[in-house]
Amino acid sequence: MKAQVDPWLVAILAVSAALNAWHLTWGLPNGNVSWAADAIGPVTALGVARRTFGGFNSGWFYFKYPAGWPLLMVVAFAPYLAYLYATGGWRHPSSDYPYGFANPERALFVLELIGRLVNVGFGVGTAAVAYGIGNRLFGRPAARWSAFLVATTYPIVYYAHTTNLDISYCFWLILALYAAIVARGTDRRLPWAVLGVAAAMALSTKEQGFAFLLPLPIMLLIGRARAAGSVRACWQAPTLWMLGAGAVTLLLANNVIVNPLGFVARIAYLLGHPIGPVDARLAPVEFSAWKGAKELVYVAHLWDGLSSSLGLPLLALAGIGALAVWRQPRAALWLWVPSVALYYLSLRGLELITLRYVLPIAVVGALCTGALLSEVWTRARSTRARWGVGMGLAAVALLSLARGVEIDWVLRTDARYQAEAWMAAHLPHGARAEIYQKPAFLPRFRGVTADFVPLDQRTRDALLARRPDAIVISSASRKSITHTWAADWRQTRTLLTPQPAAVDLLAGLEASQLPYRVGAVFRQEPRLLRNRITSVAPEITIYVRND
């Protein structure tokens, strides 16, 4: 008999789509720039595709991320680009503005929206896969709660509004986990092949997920060997389907067939041994079995990311649920082992564990919470107990939903919109403003010229000589005003180095020792969220010249 679609799942996915898509135009239009830090812009994605396929075995690679997500973006762009080409809107592509577009602002706006819509789908898909995992491990009631909690988790909602790769990376990891759970009890080809494809896509999106994926095939193969009583069971058709699908996907997603040297060069770069000169700083990655007192720092980073993602009440429930699931040891192993491996083998190797790095663990936390809430409801036998538990569960649902709604409200009322309106009303048309940070953290400048000042020119004397009409500063990435990145952190053992002249300039500006005063300050104060996403709700300060 064909299984019926759960109407609760349909409703939850509709809520997820609404949360992810509301005010999808956040910060747009803005050329190839996004207010989301580390987002892949349309021109960047097109550039990665062109350079990756530009010549056979060129050795070129995108230093920041694997090619998987930019190439997926270009695939989504393809119909619109074909339309532009057919209608004369995009001819003779170029790396310089207007990039070959007849109407670049309109074209980039549409391309950015297409990329964000893809991530809306990944956000909804993550909630759907969480439902599948919850249903397999704990039953349908737990599955509903798991899907709802994932759909309303504010980082999931936020990253669905961007062209960052983090939501797609999280989706592929959770899909791999689901495929492994399904594959453990069957020889059907599909779940094994999906595991290979999802794992390869996760690695092709961000290599950081290798540790989450590593235990999945091991746990599967150990289970097969035990069930069959022979190690030979590990090399039967299902395993070959998993390996074959994964290998093919990895080759295609990283364009290894056309540019194998580029793939090898990126791996060497990540390991800290670049094959040739690379005009990019080395990532601060260093694994050690034990790092002494720094282990407490990593735990604090993890706590900070999870408490921000879920909120303290839901994080407490997730912790209780993570312990309660051990009543079903097999289910607990599927949730615990990949999460612990990701933290220990991957996240601890970084200098800083940021919120977006813990997204897969937050999803696992939602699964544990879903299992706990379902069990609490089941154990409520009497009418009075049902009323009490029902009210508590309703409060949990409303809190989680309110947090998802609030991140949409924060995006809709971004302080940068207010700063833009203030500049339009108070600065003369054509006024010159100075900026010291990336455009991602600043308002858009309409009718105002924004000049980015290099670090070596951020001095008091140089400012007095330039005499800009205004200076715009964001609270996000504040150290980029006064510090420079170390090219090789292994030599300095620090990521940032202060530049005294820039430090003195900022101090003088804030102490009113320069002929500039604060013209306006724009800020937002989320009520339910303890924000730990750099791009969300930055405070904007506009200094204007005294005369």
Query: Residue ranges of the alpha helices (H) in 206-293?
Result: 210-213, 215-228, 237-253, 260-270
Which H helix or E strand runs over 26?
A: none
Interior/surface letters 176-185, b for 16+ CB within 10 angstroms, e for the rest? bbbbbbbbbe
If one counts every other C-beta atom within 10 angstroms of the C-beta of residue 141, the result is: 18
Beta carbons of 97 and 104 less than 8 angstroms apart = yes
Candidates 109, 142, 32, 149; CA nearest to 401 is: 149
Identify the residue whose tokens are 């809430």: 373
Name the DSSP class of 230: S
Low-confidence ranges of the chain (pLDDT < 70): 1-3, 282, 487-493
Candidates 185, 175, 173; CA nearest to 238 is: 185
pLDDT at 208 (0 to 100): 95
pLDDT at 1 (0 to 100): 44
Beta carbons of 384 and 506 less than 8 angstroms apart = no
**In degrees, to the nearest 5, what angle opens at C-alpha 297 toward C-alphas 270 and 289?**
55
Beta carbons of 38 and 164 less than 8 angstroms apart = yes
Beta carbons of 278 and 64 less than 8 angstroms apart = no
Beta carbons of 505 and 460 less than 8 angstroms apart = yes
Candidates 266, 256, 288; CA nearest to 206 is: 266
Candidates 299, 340, 317, 125; CA nearest to 211 is: 340
CA distances from 184 to 139, 179, 333, 500 (A): 17, 9, 13, 59
Omega prior to 29 cis, within 30 of 0: yes
- Contacts of 50 by beta carbon, 8 Å cutoff, 6+ apart: 93
For the chain, the 3-state helix, strand and coil shares in percent, each to the nearest 5, are 60, 5, 30
> How far is it, in rounded angstroms, from Cα 290 to Cα 281?
25
pLDDT, tens digit (0-9, with 9 covering 90-100), for 458-502: 999 999 999 999 999 999 999 999 998 776 666 666 777 899 999
pLDDT at 347 (0 to 100): 96
Identify the residue whose tokens are 């994605």: 45
Residues across the chain: 547
> How far is it, in rounded angstroms, from Cα 201 to Cα 536?
28
Candidates 274, 280, 296; CA nearest to 348 is: 296
Strand positions, DSSP E, 347-427: none
pTM here is 0.96
Interior/surface letters 482-517, b for 16+ CB within 10 angstroms, e for the rest? bbeebeebeeeeeeeeebebbeebbeebeeeebebe
The distance in angstroms from the start CA to the end CA of the chain is: 80
CA distances from 463 to 435, 471, 510 (A): 12, 10, 14
Is residue 435 helix, strand or coil? strand
Tokens found for residue 179: 């495929």
CA distances from 357 to 87, 166, 325 (A): 42, 8, 24
Identify the residue whose tokens are 């990593």: 298
> How far is it, in rounded angstroms, from Cα 512 to Cα 530?
31
